[in-house]
Amino acid sequence: MAVSAIPTTALKSGRSIPTFGLGTWRMGESAARRDEEVAALRHGLARGITLIDTAEMYGDGEAERIVADAVGKKRDEVFIVSKVLPGNASQRGTVKACEASLKRLKTDRIDLYLLHWRGSVPLDETIAAFTKLEEDGKIVDWGVSNFDISDMGELWKTPDGDCAVTNQVLYNLERRGIEFDLVPWCRKRHIPIMAYSPIEQGRILTHTVLREVAKRHDATPAQVALAWLTHQVGVITIPKAGSKAHVAEDLAALELKLTKDDLTTLDRAFPPPRSAQPLDML
């Protein structure tokens, strides 16, 4: 699959973001797996994947170094997402954390910088830091992660809070609670959702119905779970794949077209929410 074949979605800022990328949580935790992890990301880049999601938290900074090693000279072709921990999200702390991430990532800018989850620092402090980092060219866009609908409401009432371009949340067939309110709220404001843990960290893959739908297409359960997300407008998904084989399998999900019948079968097995539910987190 060529790079032009990975669809993009618009960000409010006017830029666009690929709707499919690679996650890096759990990378950088084992020296023995490091080479394979770099190779997996490189394989993704070679196959046309241009979005990588990381965070200062992952591998205690080592995942960002792995991203830097994988990206190398391709920096201008890649859309890098990273995140500041809530404990670092004061005005000064955010700037410091971002500068440390830039160093580990061996780059001069982060394309999209997220508040990893909400902590005790008032939102206006973090937003002030994001705005300054944007003015200084150290980040291009910013957003949030693990924000429930009430958090988004609060964010929107905070000065410049409505400049956030995304909310990265847990979303997969088994975690559909956000469809009741958060997804429509974001859609109305042109905020794409970044779906993390799209295959529920592998736990969903043995589900009988997922296997049954996969069989209809000569596909795998992981591809069905990913295709269910990629067919949705305004949803970006970022599976983590630590081997070349998994990268290739996950990327091929973009070629899988689920039918109306498939979607009905999946809805029956994984019903959409009928009432508001608190946001799921991992």
Ligand X SMILES: NC(=O)c1ccc[n+]([C@@H]2O[C@H](COP(=O)([O-])OP(=O)(O)OC[C@H]3O[C@@H](n4cnc5c(N)ncnc54)[C@H](OP(=O)(O)O)[C@@H]3O)[C@@H](O)[C@H]2O)c1
Positions marked catalytic: 58
Using rule CB under 6 A, residue 11 touches ligand X = no
Using rule CB under 6 A, residue 232 touches ligand X = no
Binder of ligand X out of 7, 119, 184, 202 (CB under 6 A): 202
For ligand X, give the closer residue by CB, 25 or 270: 25
Using rule CB under 6 A, residue 197 touches ligand X = yes
Using rule CB under 6 A, residue 222 touches ligand X = yes
Q: Say if strands 51-53 and 16-18 run parallel, antiparallel, or are unpaired.
A: unpaired
Using rule CB under 6 A, residue 23 touches ligand X = yes
CB of 36 to ligand X, least distance (A): 9
Using rule CB under 6 A, residue 141 touches ligand X = no
Using rule CB under 6 A, residue 207 touches ligand X = no
For ligand X, give the closer residue by CB, 159 or 194: 194
| CA separation for the pair 269, 73 (Å, rounded) | 45
Q: Say if strands 16-18 and 235-237 run parallel, antiparallel, or are unpaired.
A: unpaired
Q: In this chain, which stretch among 8-16, 86-94, 124-132, 200-208 interacts with ligand X, using CB under 6 A?
A: 200-208
Write out the two tokens for 206: 């043995």
CB of 280 to ligand X, least distance (A): 11
Using rule CB under 6 A, residue 171 touches ligand X = no
Q: In this chain, which stretch among 101-109, 134-142, 181-189, 233-241 interacts with ligand X, using CB under 6 A?
A: 233-241
Total residue length of the chain: 282
Using rule CB under 6 A, residue 65 touches ligand X = no
For ligand X, give the closer residue by CB, 119 or 159: 119
User: In the window 71-130, what residues touch ligand X (CB under 6 A)?
Assistant: 116
Using rule CB under 6 A, residue 53 touches ligand X = yes
CB of 32 to ligand X, least distance (A): 13
For ligand X, give the closer residue by CB, 197 or 230: 197
Using rule CB under 6 A, residue 25 touches ligand X = yes
For ligand X, give the closer residue by CB, 19 or 145: 145
CA distances from 259 to 28, 155, 227, 265 (A): 38, 38, 11, 10
Provide the binding-site residues for ligand X, judged by CB under 6 A.
23-25, 53, 116, 145-146, 168, 196-202, 205, 222, 238-243, 246, 249-250, 282
